């Protein structure tokens, strides 16, 4: 069981959260000229690291806020979490 610290509610069990994927993936800005390759990279291509991974979680059965977490994909250790605006 993962214990995840929601930046708003504190430590809660994994059951209250939904995963939101790699948080380093950036959508190209609206109105920006973007090549097909860059767009495809954004949609499909991932760094998929073994080790520290920055990712989105959603406290879906709690305060319903999205936030960021830094977690190890090999050990599942969660280093820290932060709101979307803060630096991790």
Partner 1 sequence: MQNYSIFSLVKNAFSNHQDWEVAWKDPEPKKEYDVIIIGGGGHGLATAYYLAKEHGITNVAILEKGWIGGGNVGRNTTILRSNYMFDANAHFYELGMKMWEDLSQELNYNVMYSPRGIINLAHTDGQLNAYARRGNSMRLNGIDAILLNREEVKKMIPFADFSDTCRFPIVGALMQPRGGTARHDAVAWGYARQADSMGVDIIQNCEVTGFDVENGKISGVRTSRGEIKTKKVGLCVAGSTTLLADKLNMRLPIEAHVLQACVSEPVKPLLHNVVTFGAGHFYCSQSDKGEMVMGGDLDGYNSYAQRGNLPMIQHVLSGGLAVFPNFSRLKMLRSWGGIMDMSMDGTPIIDKTHIDGVYLNCGWCYGGFKATPSSGFVFAHTIAKDEPHELNQPFNLDRFHTGNIIDEKGVGPKPWIG
Instruction: Give the residues lining the site for partner 1 (CB under 8 A).
Output: 1-2, 13-15, 18-19, 21-22, 36-37, 40-41, 43-50, 53, 55, 71, 73-76
Nearer to partner 1 by Cβ, of 24 and 83: the residue is 24
Q: Match 């979307």 to its residue by tokens.
A: 84
- Calculate ∠ Cα 77-87-71, nearest 5°: 15
Nearer to partner 1 by Cβ, of 40 and 86: the residue is 40
Cβ(30)–Cβ(44) below 8 Å: no
- The encoded tokens of residue 52 equal 């520290």
Tell the burial category of 51 from Cβ atoms under 10 Å away from its Cβ (0-12, 13-18, 19+): exposed
What is the smallest separation between the CB atom of 88 and partner 1, expressed in angstroms? Answer: 16
What is the smallest separation between the CB atom of 78 and partner 1, expressed in angstroms? Answer: 10
Q: Give SS3 for 75.
A: coil
Nearer to partner 1 by Cβ, of 47 and 87: the residue is 47
What is the smallest separation between the CB atom of 15 and partner 1, expressed in angstroms? Answer: 6
């Amino acid at each position: 069981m993962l214990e995840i610290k929601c930046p708003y509610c504190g430590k809660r069990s994994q059951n209250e959260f939904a995963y939101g994927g790699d948080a380093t993936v950036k959508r190209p800005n609206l109105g920006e000229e973007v090549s097909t390759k860059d767009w495809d990279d954004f949609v499909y291509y991932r760094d998929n690291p073994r080790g520290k991974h920055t990712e989105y979680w959603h406290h879906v059965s709690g305060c319903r806020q999205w936030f960021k977490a830094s977690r190890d994909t090999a050990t599942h250790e969660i280093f820290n979490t932060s709101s979307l605006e803060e630096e991790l």
